[in-house]
């Protein structure tokens, strides 16, 4: 039996009875960094600090008006208050298929290749659990979105980290994975446009990854939550555009970043039909589907014209340029990303990532995310989000200039 923490002992003493013994799964879970970040921000705000949070990819821009109106209209219909379909309305499947073909020129069979999700985050966890067993290895890029780790460790699988660095375009070197690791590997996680680095992968890399997965009997889980935040003429590509990808890969998309609908909790899993079905079976044993008015709102969003995306991305591009110029001016070198919601900036000399983020928060009230929140390879960087109004970003940069005496 594990030893009780001081908090648990105190609680047990106050209650005069034994405390609940939690499972190994729960006691082994690390704290979720972004939940912890929100608490720190809330504490400082409560203390009277004017906090500017540039830490999370939580769009500050509103959802499209047509989406809001459709949601409100559907909520007035009594039939939409009942249990929804476990795997989503067929109309939503059709809307996803049409959107995907228009955006990526890839045809999906609506009921076979598509599964609506309560946000892509749950799909990441369920996809990992649908493939991995205890003792298996998951190939995880480093830095990484934390769910890639927990999606494996919660079922007893182990991560093998693939370092990403600027020199190699933040792409994993698949040829350096040892043979004994590959023998036990079941999953290769990919994420482009990348969180946190904002790097993008080209066709040549995706072709290599798909061939590698075929060769080593791997499943690729490609997290593409930032597919529709892009700048200039650049357009991120889907891994499913590669011939043979649907035999080994699934891809996750999200309406959170695409249509400023983070609170709606709408995502999608598409690709390999066996894995899509497996995640659907797992989900149906855990939740009862997506509120039908939200599904209608998602359909409305997916039918918006491409001009809506272009106009929204122009706002983000202005913010990106402000942050890149400001960071470079104060000695935090960075490059302008082609896609995504983040600037990946070097910390000033003499700081670790975490020390700098803490120092900056204490001195200025500006909250950014240490690169090491995403793994050891994030040391030396901070992730800065574009999801704050222009004037707040300008104020944050001004405060940063002042503490650096510029």
* Residues 318-365 pLDDT 10s: 999 999 999 999 999 999 999 999 999 999 999 999 999 999 999 999
Residues 87, 288: contact at Cβ < 8 Å?
no
| Predicted pLDDT of residue 29 | 74
Name which of 353, 350, 365, 355 is nearest 402 in CA terms.
Answer: 365
Q: Which of 267, 302, 337 is the last residue of a domain?
A: 302
| Predicted pLDDT of residue 225 | 96
Same domain as 69, residue 42: no
Residues 127, 151: contact at Cβ < 8 Å?
yes
The pair of structure tokens assigned to 355 is 């020390």
Q: How far is CA 369 from CA 54, 258, 398, in A?
A: 8, 22, 18
Q: Which of 302, 323, 358 is the last residue of a domain?
A: 302
Same domain as 316, residue 258: no
The pair of structure tokens assigned to 357 is 């983020």
Q: Is residue 3 part of a domain?
A: no
Name which of 159, 157, 151 is nearest 133 in CA terms.
Answer: 157
Q: Is residue 14 part of a domain?
A: no
Q: Is residue 135 part of a domain?
A: yes
Q: Which of 302, 322, 345 is the last residue of a domain?
A: 302
Same domain as 267, residue 182: yes
Q: How far apart (Å, rounded) are the C-alpha atoms in residues 323 and 340?
A: 13
Radius of gyration for the chain, computed over Cα atoms and rounded to the nearest angstrom: 22
Residues 200, 234: contact at Cβ < 8 Å?
yes
Same domain as 315, residue 219: no
Q: Is residue 10 part of a domain?
A: no
Instruction: For residue 375, give the CATH number of its domain.
Output: 3.90.1150.10
Residues 52, 367: contact at Cβ < 8 Å?
yes
Q: Is residue 41 part of a domain?
A: yes
User: Can you say whether the dihedral through the CA atoms of 102, 231, 57, 123 is positive or negative?
Assistant: positive
**pTM, whole model, 2 decimals?**
0.91
pLDDT under 70: residue ranges of the chain:
1-18, 31-36, 406
Same domain as 107, residue 214: yes
Q: Is residue 6 part of a domain?
A: no
Q: If you write DSSP's letter for every residue of 55-119 in order, what string do you get?
A: SS----SPPPHHHHHHHHHHHT-GGGGS---TT--HHHHHHHHHHHHHHH-----TTTSEEEESS
| Predicted pLDDT of residue 18 | 63
Q: Is residue 239 part of a domain?
A: yes
Same domain as 374, residue 318: yes
Residues 141, 190: contact at Cβ < 8 Å?
yes
Cα-based angle 403, 43, 55 (whole degrees, multiple of 5)? 55
Q: How far apart (Å, rounded) are the C-alpha atoms in residues 274 and 396?
A: 47
The residue behind tokens 């855990």 is: 286
Instruction: For residue 161, give the CATH number of its domain.
Output: 3.40.640.10
Same domain as 270, residue 225: yes
Q: Is residue 44 part of a domain?
A: yes
| Predicted pLDDT of residue 24 | 80
Same domain as 112, residue 223: yes
The pair of structure tokens assigned to 113 is 């290749």
Tally of domains in the chain: 2
Same domain as 313, residue 173: no
Same domain as 370, residue 325: yes
Residue 399: give the domain boundaries. 30-59+307-403
Q: How far apart (Å, rounded) are the C-alpha atoms in residues 308 and 301?
A: 10
Same domain as 372, residue 333: yes
Residues 287, 133: contact at Cβ < 8 Å?
no
DSSP 347: P
Same domain as 352, residue 271: no
Q: If you write DSSP's letter for every residue of 224-286 in order, what string do you get?
A: -TTTT-B-TT-----GGGSTTGGGTEEEEEEHHHHTT-GGG--EEEEE-HHHHHHHHHHHHTT
Name which of 385, 35, 390, 379 is nearest 195 in CA terms.
Answer: 385
């Amino acid at each position: 039996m594990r030893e009780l923490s001081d908090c648990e002992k105190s609680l047990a003493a106050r209650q005069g009875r034994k405390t609940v013994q939690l499972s190994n799964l729960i006691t082994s879970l690390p704290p979720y960094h972004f939940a912890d970040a929100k608490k720190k921000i809330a504490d400082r705000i409560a203390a009277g600090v004017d906090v500017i949070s540039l830490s999370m990819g939580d769009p500050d821009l509103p959802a499209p008006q047509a989406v809001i109106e459709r949601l409100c209209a559907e909520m007035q219909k009594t039939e939409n208050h009942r249990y929804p379909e476990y795997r989503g309305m067929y109309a939503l499947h059709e809307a996803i298929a049409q959107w995907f073909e228009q955006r990526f020129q890839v045809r999906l069979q609506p009921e076979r290749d598509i599964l609506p999700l309560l946000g892509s985050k749950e799909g990441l966890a369920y996809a990992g659990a649908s493939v991995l067993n205890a003792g298996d290895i998951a190939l995880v890029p480093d830095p990484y979105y934390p769910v890639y780790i927990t999606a494996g460790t919660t079922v007893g699988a182990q991560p093998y980290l693939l370092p990403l660095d600027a020199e190699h375009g933040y792409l994993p070197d698949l040829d350096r994975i040892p043979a004994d690791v590959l023998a036990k590997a079941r999953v290769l996680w990919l994420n482009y446009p990348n969180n946190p680095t904002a790097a993008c992968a080209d066709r040549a890399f995706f072709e290599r990854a798909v061939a590698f997965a075929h060769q080593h009997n791997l499943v690729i889980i490609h997290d593409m939550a930032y597919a529709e935040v892009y700048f200039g003429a650049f357009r991120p590509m889907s891994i499913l555009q590669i011939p043979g990808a649907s035999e080994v890969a699934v891809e996750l998309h999200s309406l959170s970043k695409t249509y400023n609908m983070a609170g709606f909790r709408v995502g999608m899993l598409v690709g390999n039909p066996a894995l899509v079905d497996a995640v659907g079976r797992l989900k149906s044993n855990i939740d009862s589907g997506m509120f039908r008015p939200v599904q209608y709102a998602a359909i409305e969003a997916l039918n918006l014209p491409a001009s809506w995306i272009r106009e929204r991305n122009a706002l983000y591009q202005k913010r990106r340029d402000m942050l890149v110029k400001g960071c470079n001016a104060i000695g935090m070198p960075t490059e302008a990303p082609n896609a995504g919601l983040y600037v990946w900036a070097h910390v000033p000399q003499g700081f670790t990532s975490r020390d700098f983020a803490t120092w900056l928060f204490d001195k200025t009230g500006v909250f950014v995310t240490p690169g090491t929140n995403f793994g050891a390879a994030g040391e030396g960087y901070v992730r800065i989000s574009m999801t704050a109004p222009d004037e707040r970003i300008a104020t944050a940069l001004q405060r940063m200039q002042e503490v650096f005496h510029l």
